[in-house]
Amino acid sequence: MAEDPRKIIGRGSATDKNANTSNEFNFWLAPEVLANPFDIVEAETYRDSKTYGLVLNLEHTTDAASHLSNYISNNFGEATEDPQTPRQGTTVAKCAVLSNTEEIYMPVPSEARIRFADAQGILKALGADAIKEEHKIPAGLIEMSNGTQAPCFLDARYLLGPEGAHLNVSGISGLATKTSYVVFLISAILQKYANAESTAVVLLNVKHDDLLHIHEPNEELKEPDRKMWNNLALEPKAFPKDRVHYLLPNGKLTASTGKPNSHSTPNIPHDIYAYALSNTRDKVDLLMGHVPDVWDTLRALIGIVQEGLAAGVKDKRWGTVKTWSGLIDGPPLYEVSEGKQKGIGEVPASTVNRFRRILRRITQTRQSGLFVDQLSRNTCDLGQKIKEIKGGHTYVVDIYNLKDEEKTLVFGDILRTIYQLYAESDEEDQDMPDKVIIFVDELNKYAPEGTKGSPILDQVLEVSERGRSLGIVLFGAEQFLSAVHDRVTGNCSTTVFGRTNAAEMAERAYRFLNPDIKAAATRLDKGQLILSHAVFRQPVKIKFPLPAYKQPA
Partner 1 sequence: MTRRLPPIFGLQQALQVLSDRTDVLPAVGGATEDELRADIDEIDDQRATSDDTLLDEPYEFGNSQIYVPLTPLRRPEEHLFQFFLDGSMRSFFVGTALEHDRSTPVIIGQVGCVALEREDGGRLKIAAQSQRNLLLVAFSQISDEVRSRLQEIVSKLGDNYKVANIEEYGQEGQDLRRRAEDTMRVTMHDIETETLMQAVIGKENCWLIADGSLRFAKIFEELRKHFNEAQPPLVSVAKNFSKVPRFKIGRGGKAREVNLWQLLSELPEGHRTMAFKAKTKDRVVSVWYMRLRMKSRMEYPLMGVIKVELPVLAPDPPPSDLVTKLSNALLAERTVTPHGSDRRWHAHLYPIFQAERAVKDAFVSISTLRAGLRWPPATVRS
**Candidate ranges 81-89, 164-172, 230-238, 346-354; the one touching partner 1 (CB under 8 A):** 81-89
Minimal distance in Å, beta carbon 112 to partner 1? 7
Nearer to partner 1, 114 or 481 (CB): 114
Torsion of CA 121, 122, 125, 131, to 10 degrees: -100
How many residues bind partner 1 (CB under 8 A)? The answer is 27
Among 1, 17, 79, 86, binds partner 1 (CB under 8 A): 86
**What is the maximum alpha-carbon separation in the chain?**
102
**Candidate ranges 40-48, 206-214, 476-484, 520-528; the one touching partner 1 (CB under 8 A):** 40-48
Minimal distance in Å, beta carbon 98 to partner 1? 20
Nearer to partner 1, 81 or 431 (CB): 81
Among 18, 23, 36, 75, binds partner 1 (CB under 8 A): 75
The DSSP letter of residue 181 is: H
Question: Helices 297-311 and 349-360: crossing angle, nearest 10°?
Answer: 70
Burial state string for 327-347 with b = 16 or more CB within 10 A and e = fewer than 16: bbeeebbeeeeeeeeeebeeb
Q: Measured between alpha carbons, how far is 501 from 481 in angstroms, rounded to an integer?
A: 11
CB 430 within 8 A of CB 396: no
Minimal distance in Å, beta carbon 69 to partner 1? 4
Binders in 87-116 for partner 1, by CB under 8 A: 87-88, 109, 112
Q: Measured between alpha carbons, how far is 184 from 523 in angstroms, rounded to an integer?
A: 22
Among 2, 60, 84, 511, binds partner 1 (CB under 8 A): 84
Nearer to partner 1, 63 or 219 (CB): 63
Among 2, 60, 79, 81, binds partner 1 (CB under 8 A): 81
Binders in 160-219 for partner 1, by CB under 8 A: none
Q: Does residue number 72 form part of the binding site for partner 1 (CB under 8 A)?
A: yes
Q: Does residue number 46 form part of the binding site for partner 1 (CB under 8 A)?
A: yes
Q: Does residue number 66 form part of the binding site for partner 1 (CB under 8 A)?
A: yes
Residue positions counted in the chain: 553
Cβ count near 172 (within 10 Å): 17
Which has the closest alpha carbon to 416: 321, 304, 281, 305? 281
Q: Does residue number 31 form part of the binding site for partner 1 (CB under 8 A)?
A: yes
The secondary structure element, H or E, covering residue 382 is helix 382-387
Interface pattern 479-498 for partner 1 (x via CB under 8 A): --------------------
Among 76, 103, 242, 424, binds partner 1 (CB under 8 A): 76
CA distances from 463 to 223, 280, 344, 412, 417 (A): 39, 21, 33, 11, 11
Minimal distance in Å, beta carbon 58 to partner 1? 19
Q: Does residue number 82 form part of the binding site for partner 1 (CB under 8 A)?
A: yes
Q: Does residue number 73 form part of the binding site for partner 1 (CB under 8 A)?
A: yes
Q: Measured between alpha carbons, how far is 373 from 518 in angstroms, rounded to an integer?
A: 51
Q: Measured between alpha carbons, how far is 268 from 277 in angstroms, rounded to an integer?
A: 29
**Candidate ranges 21-29, 64-72, 124-132, 398-406; the one touching partner 1 (CB under 8 A):** 64-72
CB 413 within 8 A of CB 381: no
* Site residues, partner 1 (CB under 8 A): 31, 44-46, 63-66, 68-70, 72-76, 78, 81-88, 109, 112
